[in-house]
Structure 1
């Protein structure tokens, strides 16, 4: 560890005696929010939503973030009642704090409308096509009811806001009552996004959606199960099954980890692409991360992940056609105020974006929504490499199969 720290320099902040640690990359906080507000259609709509419980300020927290061109998209999961829109774009009204605009529309975020989005934890944007892949748990509220919608995958063309593909998961694959579809990555083959891999942080499953077959299935294994919390860290961590997922830029390996676990696991995509594979036989225990983590993502050369115990973001090298080397673990940024519970990562060019939302505090109903404290931070950091999806069409175009979506 001492050798590792020699590569960093330390900035001591005057505010609250906090310490920030950076690597040579340049990082900046793009947005910092005390609470989430929306781009309401008319002036009285917000007050009406507050009165009838459709908007409960303290129940709204940004979790997912992805960037496409100049637009920043975020999710506000319906963990609790009073979330008016679960998928949004950040907008900047003149002279006002940035707010969220329902994406693709208010109608497409309506609770109880099974054609609309009900409960979005995360999504992925393919920069090659401009398509947003959205996973929807199907529940419009935290309490299961007879009006639940089936869980689904929706693909939207960002520029036109048109739905170009929709898939409803069968109940024998994804439970409409207990699922917690959390994170998604895309696997390219023959010039197309052929597979989507999705984690389930309640039912401890790894789903596979095969676009060509328009079919889904899942794997489950003991390495996906929740692990006990380390004593003394209950305030920093939440124990839960498989959460973060990443796929290498050569589309050879998928990485995953239970939420509070230090262990990082890998599985070959050749295993995931075959529904009959013996998953247990091929799991690789890569090694230990620096801490428990939520989201993770691969660039062209590195895997990036959060470290909950350190309020930090780390990276490790990803060799081509081989699993990551944990000996190359490097700290990118650490801050005890603005890097608390890094939830989701995304890329835009060579900028790595991530959201910090203090979920561990929110989960215990201890978050201050008075407006005096900043609770959510959206960062970007130039890391000198592109997303795992960069030029994926060209890189995998041999024997291309044209027209997956039509």
Structure 2
């Protein structure tokens, strides 16, 4: 018997998906689990769902998931991320861009859903200088300790335009772009991703190919709300910035670059999340792994398993488990000349970390 690679980390399956491919998961303070399914070519019957008694139910209703020209701003077009804030609201980030198209006017939005009444409470839309024709809204974090109603921070993970962090004043709805096109929010030009032993590239049906390039994607916020961690999808690097600096519009974007801190390589990550002690959890999709980055910068691998086939979004539940979506994103047809290599089921997994999520309020 020859020696073989060692795998480690104890996790369990929470839910298996035999239909459309999920990207996002979040667990509310009461333990409710929400999932999102962006419209990337699968048969998506509803783009936001709740897991109820072992089944997927459209959330907050089927009507909210049915789009027509008359209700673009009040219904979900193609949702990339869902985030429960720990105080009764589900934040739904709608790309408004099915199949990575240019965002439909009024379709790209941040929606606040009241988890007590299961109704949409407020919709935040964006001006054309915030959501660009190239914008792909990817992930969001909220903090209620600043401003009158709090702030949201959103990553733009564009594949053909500038990456950025979008800052939203949740009282006024006013939003603006920060670190627009900066190195820290842009794909690493020298990054060559390798997944399952093969180079990951865009490979089209006509035989043409191009580099896999996606901008700022993963995002996490410190327990006190003062530090925002972020990373481009096409990169192995981790960055952070003071949220005070992000919100301070008197600091020009050029000067804002000096506020960015580089934390080193953590592996190539999709989603990230922070626990109440300030530890950042991040996937490493090249190595089927999950990393833990301590506040002092020390990094450790807490799970490494061949079944962790593209760890996507992370969430920490009140049960002190780390929940994460595994969706084989790299096996999609667009990376394999039109051949879909994904094998169902996709999965929602969890592992015990014995820490609660980072709070969003005092």
CA contact (8 A) 2:77 2:107 kept: no
Using the TM superposition, give the Cα deviation of residue 20 of structure 1 relative to its aligned residue in structure 2, in angstroms.
Answer: 3.2
List aligned pairs for 1:270-285, cutoff 5 A.
Answer: 270-277=244-251, 278-285=255-262
Q: Deviations over 1:296-349 (max 9, x none)?
A: 01111210001112101010112xxxxxx33x2111111112x11111001111
Are 2:26 and 1:66 equivalent residues in the alignment? Answer: yes
Alpha-carbon distance in 2 for matches of 1:235, 1:332: 25
Report the equivalent of 1:89.
Answer: 50
Report the equivalent of 1:159.
Answer: 116
Alpha-carbon distance in 1 for matches of 2:328, 2:109: 28
- Which of 290, 300, 307 does residue 276 from structure 2 map onto? 300
Report the equivalent of 1:56.
Answer: none
Using the TM superposition, give the Cα deviation of residue 116 of structure 1 relative to its aligned residue in structure 2, in angstroms.
Answer: 0.5
CA contact (8 A) 1:235 1:360 kept: no
Are 2:157 and 1:189 equivalent residues in the alignment? Answer: no
Report the equivalent of 2:351.
Answer: 381
CA contact (8 A) 1:154 1:163 kept: yes
List aligned pairs for 1:23-172, cutoff 5 A.
Answer: 26-33=10-17, 35-36=18-19, 60-68=20-28, 69-80=30-41, 82-92=43-53, 98-112=54-68, 113-114=71-72, 115-127=74-86, 129-140=87-98, 142-144=100-102, 148-172=105-129
CA contact (8 A) 2:268 2:285 kept: yes
Are 2:251 and 1:251 equivalent residues in the alignment? Answer: no
Which structure 1 segments of 5+ residues have no match? 1-11, 37-59, 93-97, 319-324, 396-406
Q: How many residues align?
A: 330
Q: Secondary structure at the match of 1:20?
A: coil
CA contact (8 A) 1:18 1:335 kept: no
Alpha-carbon distance in 2 for matches of 1:360, 1:165: 34
TM normalised by structure 2 equals: 0.84
Q: Deviations over 1:280-300 (max 9, x none)?
A: 1211111111x1110001111
TM normalised by structure 1 equals: 0.75
Using the TM superposition, give the Cα deviation of residue 100 of structure 1 relative to its aligned residue in structure 2, in angstroms.
Answer: 2.2
Which structure 2 segments of 5+ residues have no match? 202-211
